[in-house]
Structure 1
Amino acid sequence: MAEQLFCKGVSAVISSAGCEERRADIRLTVETCTSSSPIHKKELTVRITDDADPLFLYSVAIGEEDFQSLKSQQGLLVDFSAFPQKFIDLLEQCILEQGKQVPRFLIQLVTSSPALDCMPACLNVVETNPFKHLTHLSLKLLAGSDSDIKKYLAVCIKNLKMENSMLEDKLHRSEEGLSKRLTVTQQALAEKSKELDKLQNEWTSQTTSLTNKYSREITAEKEKVLRIQAQYQLQHEQQKKEMEATCNRKVHHLETRVSEFETVNKDLTEKKYKSESSIRELKSKFAGLEEEYQRAKQEVLSLRRENSTLDTECHEKEKLLNQLRTRIAVLEQEVKDKEQVVIRSTDVCESAQEHKKKLEESLEMKQLQIGKFETTVKSISEELLKANEIIKKLQGEMKKLMEKMKLKNAVTLQQEKIIGEKEQTLQKERLELLNVKQALQQKEEEVFKLQEQLDITVQKLEESKQLLKTNENVISWLNKQLNENKIASMHGASGHSDMPCAGSATNSAALQNGLVRINLSANSTSTPLHETRPCPPTSTPLVPPNSGHVEPPGLDMKYLKKDGNLPLRGLKPLSVASTGK
């Protein structure tokens, strides 16, 4: 039983004698198999093939004894059980490094002959560094014989048949699944089309009914609003006329009152000017008194040492004098300041009684004038209070009128709100109509996508059927070619078995040894050129067609194509055999 451990495509450097090194893509497989011989229990087989050339085959089988000699020759530090995994690790490292410009690990395939034919080759795993190229492992591979190539091709054809059967099963399954999906999608399409027709009919009926209904309601509401607006306009004009008449009356009354207040104001201003003149006279008198006070102050300096209270009062008097200078407009504050000045001056100037009497007389006169001013101010304030009450009444009436206007505005706002709500409902229905249209468009797009998918699947089915037909034709053609070659070889063996080097004997020897070289170009038709070795002294008989030996089935033509000028090893085509006869 063979167990495949590694099978990957590898880029290798092929170097041959007298030729430049070149890179080529090869497939390297590593397998372990149990041998039938009693000496070796397990063997490791390393095989090199080319996907473009099925006749290219190099392989080696390594047993435990072979590995021991390889270990001693190349200085390996690994046992036979761990050797396959380590070898696979080296190959993986080479695959990782093969994409770089200067790879660290390389796979080399070295031959002593100018071309890769039946000569053995060495598979080297090399580590490169600037100082030296180190070969970690070197395996000597032998070219595959005809039987090995036939076995390999038989395995390939068997695998291809397995893959073909698997593909056919997958195709049948996919056809069944796609047919089921087609039926389901067709049913779904039919149902969706029916639903679309129903929705379109419902949508048209609903839109027509809603537009008629709301157009009627809007016209009725507009007529109501126009009627109410006309009524409110008439009421507003009547109330406006009444308000204008009342306002004109009140304005006339207020104008008369204002004229009266103006006359009173004129009298008050005259009184004010008179009081200001009297204040100026008092200021002049106060200046004279201030001079006298300063004289008295010089006299009182001797008495300040005895009485500290008099000093504080003098400071207060100075402050009050400064306040009198700043507060000339206010009569009450001036009178109070003058009283304080007189009181404090009487307290300070006890010795100057005559000055005190004069000041008392002036104070009495000022108090009389202040009383007169207070009476006039009280009368003016009473009149102002009456005027304020009248203004408050007028403001209350204006507030009532404004409340009435607010009520009218609130009624109009409510009507506008009703109209706005109806317009919002109309907009909502329009949005619903737009959503229905979008849903219809989405469903149509889904139907279009499903149809595209169906077309693509049908195309794929047709392509797969064509591929199957071509594969079957190629396989039948190859089987015919193999059968014809077999029949030709049987006729040659029976008719010319005694001739050692005749034309038919050369054909049978070529078929037995498989030493035919065929050079195929990439763009021309296959014209085989063959070379034969000298025929052996005895011709071995071929297997008859009914002896139980079954030839492998035909191979696909794509495995017989080859790029480059590498030789192909195998059977001659039918045309060569016929010319040899």
Structure 2
Amino acid sequence: MPFDKKAFVECEILYLYCRKADVKLTVETCTSSSPSHKKEFTVRITDDADPLFLYSLAIGEEDFQSLKNQQGLLVDFSAFPQKFINLLEQCILEQGKQVPRFLIQLVTSSPALDCMPACLNVVETNPFKHLTHLSLKLLAGSDSDIKKYLAICIKNLKMENSILEDKLHRTEEGLLKRLTITQQALAEKSKELDKLQNEWTSQATSLTNKYSKEITAEKEEVLKIQAQYQLQHEQQKKEMEATCNKKVCHLETRVSELETVNKDLAERRYKSESSIRELKSKLAGLEEEYQRAKQEVLSLQGENSTLDTECHEKKKLLNQLRTRVAVLEQEVKDKEQLILSCEIQTYLFQKKLEESLEMKQRQIGKLDTTVKSISEELLKAHEIIKKLQGEMKKLMEKMKLKNAVTMQQEKILGEKEQSLQKERMEFHNVKQALQQKEGEVLKLQEQLDTSVQKLEENKQLLKTNENVISWLNKQLNENKMPFTHGASGHGDMMRAGSATNSAVLQNGLVSMCALQD
């Protein structure tokens, strides 16, 4: 049968007896060679470790319809293989976890896994229930099926073996070719190396011959240069001594001048410190006065606030009494109007109301007494209002006096603050001047230190120069000594003298460079 689609899946399968195993699951879709050309979907489970382990299932379109109705599948036959492969891939992704969500179970009826049918279940696990998404009944492979499967496996292995043998032959041929090429290249390189060695020996001999002549010529020139440098060195020594003496005299005069300046600055510093102390004492006294004045102002402000509160309360009382007086006056007016209306009524209805006249007169008498009492209360209220107005005038006068006193005190405080600010400014200016002078003193001290250091360095330089000169003289005397001996060891002495002369010249040049620096 020709294969349309094939998928190999290596996965772990849980058997019924809780045994895990790595097996190969093959999914194929193929068309049969029969005249109807029906499509079939085959599932095969094999194990590479056990070649007799074989389970397979072939599902046609009619079989799939019954499977779909039994298990309630929502997929058509054409889409079923891909969906089944997706489920298997999901199981493979989950197999590395401790608690996998998707599992593949192969349920067999006996632990020996003999020719009985088995169920392949794709199970989704959750804490509540294990849901089987798909269950396929696989038949165990018969002898003929196993033989066919083994024949296919042997065929595949032979194919792989032949491919590997071809690759081996190709690699061996390539390696042999590379070996021959490298051997040839090695022989060529060895020949080139022999040539280079011969050339190098010839060049070395020619160079030694050439440079021996040049060395003898240079030795003679070095002796001439040595004599010239000795003369130059003596002249420079004399010049340096003269210049160093002049510098020392100049620096001594400068040190004496700086000492006098330092004394003057120290005196100035003491004077400025004494003036600062006086200013500090004045400032402390002024600050004490300022604090006292501040406390007085605060106490006066407190009294002023209490007086304001009292005045406000008195005003409230006055307003209350005024309202009460207005109410009483209104009542009196109302009662007078009532009395007038009563009198008019009595005059009009005198004849009719002669019997009730006595009663009315009594009422009038009562009303007169109430009017008298109200008028007395009104007089008392007027007197209280007058007293309160007098007290208010007195309070206002006191307030004006206190305000004038506070204004004067504030003016005095302002003047004191201005004077304090002026004194602070003066103190700040004096401080700045002192800091500047201290900076000048520090700079002068630094200059003094640097000049002293330079003096010491110059003295050390003079000492080192004298030591170098004496050492050079000794070296020259030692070099002159060999020339007094006989001519028998003339060549050896010349070489030793040239070597020592070159060393002396180098040391002399180093010392000269140091002197110039």
Higher relative contact order (CA 8 A, sep 6+): 1
TM-score normalised by L of structure 1: 0.39
The structure carrying a bigger helix percent of its residues is: 2
TM-score normalised by L of structure 2: 0.43
